[in-house]
Amino acid sequence: MRADLHPSSQPECAAGATPALIEALRRRGLITDEGVERVQAAARAHGIAFSTAATRLGVVAEREMAQTFAGVLEISVVARTEYPWPARVPARLNLAFLRRHRVCPVGESETCIRLAMANPQDDVAIAGVRFALGKDVEPLAALESEIDEYLQAGAGDSSASTGVEPGQGKPQRTGDDIDKLSDHESDAPAIRMAHRLLTQAMDSGASDVHLEPTADSLVVRYRIDGALQEVEVLSHRWSQAVVSRLKLMARLDIAERRLPQDGRIRFTTRGVSLDLRVATFPTLHGESMVLRLLGQHSVSPELESLGLDPLGLQLLRAALDRPHGIVLITGPTGSGKTTTLYAALNAIRSPERKIVTVEDPVEYTLPGVSQLQVKPEIGLTYGAALRSVLRNDPDVIMIGEIRDQETADIAIRSALTGHLVLATLHTNTAAGAVTRLLDLGVEDYLLASTLVFAGAQRLVRQLCATCRSTREPTKDEQCALMSVLGRKAEASPLPRAIGCPSCRGRGYSGRLPIFEALPIGPQEQAAIRQSHAEETLLGLVKQKNLPTLWSHGLSRVLQGETTLEEVLSVVEELGL
């Protein structure tokens, strides 16, 4: 007998949300009173459960919701590994009913069926499954997205394959809760494919998604731990549909395919809100697209937890204690500069200090800090924003990036007038920051009197703790290690990446920073005023035995945290 309920039957709506669930969410600090009102309004308008609306709007993460259900109802949370594989749906259950109520059976005995439920308070779903199978039902809390993926796999969902001609969805107004909820219910293949690719990227810990059309396919690549990896090859028929869908989400012109475009998407998946920066550009076989996942969330990073070189950390903290001056963190895009600056701000923020940031984009939010997002399209450039900030009596200013002479001049002027300025710069070394600022037109005597610290940073991949191994160093490698680290590097085996299921065959899992520090004292100030400032500064770093990218990287190698090959891939020169 099939559980063929009328399509209009819906899970428990917002009006029926139990006070116990809402109170448990409040008690765990997962939702505010304003959040409750917002979710209730959206859930009533859309006719879905309070819990479903909360996760789809990104107010509460799916896993947090499942754990809250488990606590309130005294049930278990079903793990992804508990779903039977290969996926299958019992013939006596109606697939549309299971999808509508977000439930699926994950175990069965002679008298009872274990039912994974996104909303374990959905009595209609429990009664329907009990009636169809003639067995008692044991409800289990589960993630809605995992149930959806399992049901798609069990039904051989054609929208996830390349054999069906994709359709195009309607544009959504990203700020409208009702539109967001409607989008989750859409059956349009392109909408579901775009949602799947972005969700998969978040699950994989990717920082970027690359969609690259070729003559006969759409190649999907994720950047994970700084390295690009091909994850999927779709039919070329998906190229225009998926890119058009994502352009609609970013409010870009889908009719314009000849010029590059930039935009942003606010995307919610698994109850987590992500901020995606979107860039398209025309290629020979169609539009290519890159999406950067920013994850704009509240953080309070601690400097000690970043893993900086101990001496470098001590020198950075000393610079942050200065009443005024410029503190620079340099490195290429994606080297963790912004995270380090936010940890620095977190270390010095207090009610007595006014801290203002000017960024593009705002990647994290930090309590007690006034943050400004530049918008060049309306004239709000770094220069215009900084001039406004100076009129608001700040004590500390963080500049997302010094890009041009105007920004550099304002940073210098701010430091001269008693402000502590934190900023990033794109150079290869800490000493290179001086050359870069001089090239931008900053006068050497002004730079010497305002710069108090320059640091350089890179990220290296961390070895997988499960499968890492060692090897003997070659003679050249041994000499290089001993030239920097001395006798403690003698006869030390080198770590080696292997690859296992835990790290998906990569040999690495996560990333670590390597850091070099250049504090500016009287000798460094005198060097800045000379014609070959960078070379002189490098000599002072070596003379004072200050930490460098190379020495810190080698220390991590000897500690078994990363490989020599990984350090060599991000540090260009072995000198020092």
438-492 residue pLDDT tens? 999 999 999 999 999 999 999 999 999 888 888 888 887 777 777 776 666 666 7
Angle of the 337-348 helix axis to the 310-320 helix axis, nearest 10: 50
69: tokens are 């259900």
Ramachandran angles phi, psi of 362, nearest 5°: -80, 105
DSSP state of 429: S
Amino acid, single-letter form, for residue 390: L
> Would you state the pLDDT for residue 96?
84
From the list 266, 272, 269, the residue with the least C-alpha distance to 59 is 272
Range list of H helices, 19-94: 19-27, 33-46, 50-56, 62-73
Higher-confidence position of 149 and 372: 372
Note the pLDDT of residue 573.
54
Note the pLDDT tens digit of each residue in 7-30.
333 444 333 457 888 888 888 888
The whole-number pLDDT of residue 380 equals 86
Between CA 62 and CA 76 the distance in angstroms is 15
Tokens coding 114: 């274990």
Q: What is the pTM of this model?
A: 0.68
Question: Which regions of 464-542 does DSSP assign to beta strands (E)?
Answer: 469-471, 494-496, 508-519
Closest CA to 117 of 511, 91, 189, 127: 127
Closest by Cα among 143, 150, 165 to 67: 143
Q: Which tops the pLDDT comparison, 177 or 202? A: 202
What do you get for the CA distance between the two ends of the chain, in Å? Answer: 76
Q: Give the whole-number percent of the chain exceeding pLDDT 70.
A: 88
Q: Is pLDDT at 531 greater than 50 in this prediction? A: yes
- Closest alpha carbon to 290 in 229, 211, 228, 232: 211
* β 112-117/103-108 pair status: antiparallel
pLDDT at position 180: 54
pLDDT class for 3, splitting at 50, 70, 90?
very low
List b or e across 392-424, with b for residues whose CB sees 16 or more CB atoms inside 10 angstroms: eebbbbbbbbbbeebbbbbbbbbbeeebbbbbb
Burial class (CB in 10 A: 0-12, 13-18, 19+), 426: middle
pLDDT value at residue 483: 73
- For the record, the structure tokens of 503 come out as 């790290």
What is the tens place of the pLDDT at every residue in 115-126? 999 899 888 889
Lowest average pLDDT, out of 104-118, 175-189, 241-255, 302-316, goes to: 175-189
Q: Are strands 355-359 and 370-373 parallel, antiparallel or unpaired?
A: parallel
Average pLDDT, the chain: 83
What does the pLDDT average to over 571-576?
57
Pairing mode, strands 355-359 and 396-399: parallel
Q: What is the pLDDT at residue 460?
A: 93
For 238-242, 538-542, 571-575, which range has the lowest pLDDT when averaged over its residues? Answer: 571-575
Q: Which of 501, 479, 487 is nearest to 564 (CA)?
A: 479
Secondary-structure percent of the chain, ordered helix, strand, coil, rounded to 5 = 40, 25, 35
pLDDT computed for residue 174 by the predictor: 35
Which pair of tokens denotes residue 111? 């008298």
Dihedral sign for Cα 393, 399, 402, 404, please.
negative
pLDDT in tens, 266-325: 887 766 777 888 999 999 999 999 999 875 444 557 888 888 888 999 999 999 999 999
Containing H/E element for 485? helix 475-485
Compare 487 and 238 and report the one with higher pLDDT: 238
- The segment with the largest mean pLDDT, out of 153-162, 188-197, 419-428, is 419-428
Q: What is the pLDDT of residue 488?
A: 64
| pLDDT score recorded for residue 177 | 53
pLDDT score of 64 more than 90: no
Q: Output the pLDDT for position 397.
A: 93
Q: Give yes or no for a contact between 414 and 319, defined as CB atoms under 8 angstroms apart.
A: no
Question: Taking a C-beta distance cutoff of 8 angstroms, is the pair 106, 131 a contact?
Answer: no
pLDDT tens for 510-520 read 899 999 999 99
Angle at 199 between CA 195 and CA 203, to 5 degrees: 170
The Cα–Cα gap between 50 and 22 comes to 9
